[in-house]
Amino acid sequence: MAKRKEEKTNVMRILEQQKIPYTPHVYEEAESPLGDREYGLHIARALGQDAARVYKTLVARGASGQLYVFCLPVAQTLDLKKAAKAVGEKSVELLAVKELLPLTGYVRGGCSPVGMKKRYPTVFHRAVTDGGAVFVSAGRIGAQVELAPEALLALLGAKTADLITE
């Protein structure tokens, strides 16, 4: 599989400004449209990584109107009740795709918890620190960054909680 040309993204620039070590990775986009889970598994396979270490970024709106960022392994499904509990909301619902770019600066499939237009409360699934480096989007489709989860959590002021459906 041919790799895309590596281009520095805003996510990479932010990590460098904060002196956070990372490794950039590029991958080929899927040849045909895939569902969310299959797309995440495609990325993990393209990177040659365990899907438990590759994290997707989801943005949700709480009943209060506040936006929240939830990050979990690509093969897992966000449990909306657990997510709401983690942020102290009565309920949360995922943003419509059309809202993602104007509110975060990112498109679906290239959304990163790093470098959004505004900083939103961020929660990672509790297993994020269980096994070494993690991968998150580098801010565009076809690019990921690999870094220490502790550095990522500290940069974002993020917390951890159980977020996935059983």
Say if residues 94 and 86 touch (Cβ distance below 8 Å): no
Q: What band does 3 get if pLDDT is binned at 50, 70 and 90? A: very low
Q: Which two tokens stand for residue 114?
A: 């790093």
Give the list of residues 6+ apart from residue 32 with CB closer than 8 angstroms, or none: none
Chain Cα centroid distance, residue 4:
20
Torsions phi, psi for 120 (to 5 deg): -110, 150
Q: What band does 34 get if pLDDT is binned at 50, 70 and 90? A: low
pLDDT digits (tens, 9 = 90+) for 49-103: 999 999 999 999 999 999 999 999 999 999 999 999 999 999 999 999 999 999 9
User: 10 Å Cβ neighbour count for 89?
Assistant: 18
Give the list of residues 6+ apart from residue 158 with CB closer than 8 angstroms, or none: 69, 71, 113, 122, 123, 124, 152
pLDDT of residue 161: 98
pLDDT at position 31 over 90: no
Q: What is the pTM of this model?
A: 0.92
Longest CA–CA separation in the chain, Å: 46
Give the list of residues 6+ apart from residue 12 with CB closer than 8 angstroms, or none: 22, 24, 138, 139, 145
Going from the C-alpha of 36 to that of each of 42, 77, 104, 145, the distances in angstroms are 10, 9, 19, 19
pLDDT at position 107 over 70: yes
> Cα–Cα distance between 76 and 81 in angstroms, integer?
15
Q: What band does 32 get if pLDDT is binned at 50, 70 and 90? A: low
pLDDT digits (tens, 9 = 90+) for 46-61: 999 999 999 999 999 9
pLDDT of residue 79: 98
pLDDT at position 21 over 60: yes
pLDDT digits (tens, 9 = 90+) for 119-143: 999 999 999 999 899 999 999 999 9
Chain Cα centroid distance, residue 109:
9
Output the average pLDDT for the chain: 91
Domain 10-161 coded CATH 3.90.960.10 = yes
> Cα–Cα distance between 38 and 60 in angstroms, integer?
21
Domain ranges of the chain: 10-161
Residue % of the chain over a pLDDT of 70 = 92
pLDDT at position 1 over 50: no
Strands (E), 3-101: 23-26, 55-62, 67-73, 92-94
